[in-house]
Amino acid sequence: MPAKRFLLLFSDTGGGHRAGAQAVAQALQHRYGDAVQVTLLDALVYSRKWPFYRFPAWYPHMVRGRAIPWKLGFRLLDRASAVEMATRATYPYVRPALRALFEEHPADVIVSFHALLNRLLGLGVREAPRSIATATVVLDMLSTHALWFGRGLDRYFIPYEKMAGRAMALGIPRERLAPVGMPVRREMVEAARTPQARARKALGLDESLPVVVIVGGGDGMGPMAHVTEALLRRRPQAQIAAIAGRNPLLRRHLHALARSHPLRVEGFTNDMHLWLRAADILVTKAGPNTLAEAFVMGLPTVLYAAIPGQEEGNVRLVLEQDAGVWAPGPERAADAVMVLLRDEELRRAMGRSAGELATPHAADAIARELYNLAITNITRMKGHG
């Protein structure tokens, strides 16, 4: 039997879409081995259509600070009619790119990990040269934008059941919704089961002193350097690590800080699973994927920022569950870390609450359902043939 082909579309606007796609790719490969062929593609770059292919570079600037134009755009587009209008206006422009995609990457199932792609894919697949099943993995926790629920896809994987109402209000039939949780990369789930001391040793950290990890998503967003500085000024009895992601300017600032303070600085790391396992406290912007990973690790979080609109729901979720602290800005964030460092009992209680939100099996559940979609699609094609 030929391998079933899966094309996973993401884009590097932030680091979360790629991480989600990787989690599902790993789960497909782990469960089905040679029976599947999985391709990951940055769809916005692939399109070569201005301005889309520039989005990964612009994104950190668009959502910076109070991000008023972003917030406005987010709100204006956040309804089914607006999604439909905007997509239909854009569709003729991106249609050739979609055609090329279907030609160059023949797949049984195409999965979108990016809200911007969903309705375009829903329209495009109707004109594809053969039958293709489509799905999206929604990578936002509560404040899910209407763009995620653009119509025309076969399956919508959502993190929590409580999101189903909104999806249906936006026109998605119940039977196409699959509440499965947030997919988390395999190495995270495995690291969560290993002793903390092992991760600390692997990273060259002291095994007995608490560890605070500061991260701002894949692009090192928000006032991360100021948060780090405010914390270091308080001289915490802890090892502090700041992960700058793909933000060279931030990295330089952090290195400058490290000249006069005890601080570990990393750029974009592929060892996030080790850092999160080594940590006792995670200081982060409210990125959905980072939070899903922190939940798997049972790690309390201090949220120093949230992207307006799309990450506000994540803050709500963390607070409702008592899984962390909302402490916007450098001084409040640094104070919150100091409180948690002094109060081990509180830290542990928050960690336990975070663990209750964990969805370590989501990627596997998505993989199984995608495989079934591929089989259904092949049967559908044979029926037509």
Determine if 223 is a binding residue for ligand UDP (CB under 6 A).
Answer: no
Which of 123, 333 has the CB closer to ligand UDP?
333
Determine if 358 is a binding residue for ligand UDP (CB under 6 A).
Answer: no
Query: Would you call 138 helix, strand, or coil by DSSP?
Result: coil
Q: Which residue is nearest to ligand UDP (CB)?
A: 287
Rule CB under 6 A: choose which of 7, 9, 19, 116 binds ligand UDP.
19
Determine if 293 is a binding residue for ligand UDP (CB under 6 A).
Answer: yes
Which of 236, 287 has the CB closer to ligand UDP?
287
Rule CB under 6 A: choose which of 228, 290, 359, 377 binds ligand UDP.
290
Number of residues that bind ligand UDP (CB under 6 A): 18
CA 333 to chain centre: 22
Cα–Cα distance list, 272 to 17, 19, 39, 204, 267 (Å)? 15, 11, 23, 14, 11
- Cα angle, residue 177 at apex, residues 171 and 178 outer, rounded to 5°: 165
Determine if 287 is a binding residue for ligand UDP (CB under 6 A).
Answer: yes
- Cα angle, residue 289 at apex, residues 88 and 141 outer, rounded to 5°: 60
Q: Which residues contact 114 (CB under 8 A, 6 or more apart)?
A: 9, 10, 11, 13, 17, 43, 44
Q: What is the pattern of x (binds ligand UDP, CB under 6 A) and - over residues 243-262?
A: x-x-----------------
Q: How far is it, in rounded angstroms, from Cα 216 to Cα 241?
A: 12
Rule CB under 6 A: choose which of 42, 108, 154, 219 binds ligand UDP.
219
Determine if 55 is a binding residue for ligand UDP (CB under 6 A).
Answer: no
Which of 52, 295 has the CB closer to ligand UDP?
295
Q: How far is it, in rounded angstroms, from Cα 304 to Cα 185?
A: 24
Determine if 150 is a binding residue for ligand UDP (CB under 6 A).
Answer: no
Tokens coding 12: 């590097």
Determine if 222 is a binding residue for ligand UDP (CB under 6 A).
Answer: no
DSSP bridge pairs for 156: 136, 177
Rule CB under 6 A: choose which of 150, 183, 222, 288 binds ligand UDP.
288
Cα–Cα distance list, 5 to 83, 108, 110, 111, 262 (Å)? 29, 5, 9, 11, 49
Rule CB under 6 A: choose which of 6, 16, 158, 280 binds ligand UDP.
16
Determine if 353 is a binding residue for ligand UDP (CB under 6 A).
Answer: no
Instruction: Give me the residues that bind ligand UDP (CB under 6 A), please.
Output: 14-16, 19, 215, 217-219, 243, 245, 268-269, 272, 287-290, 293
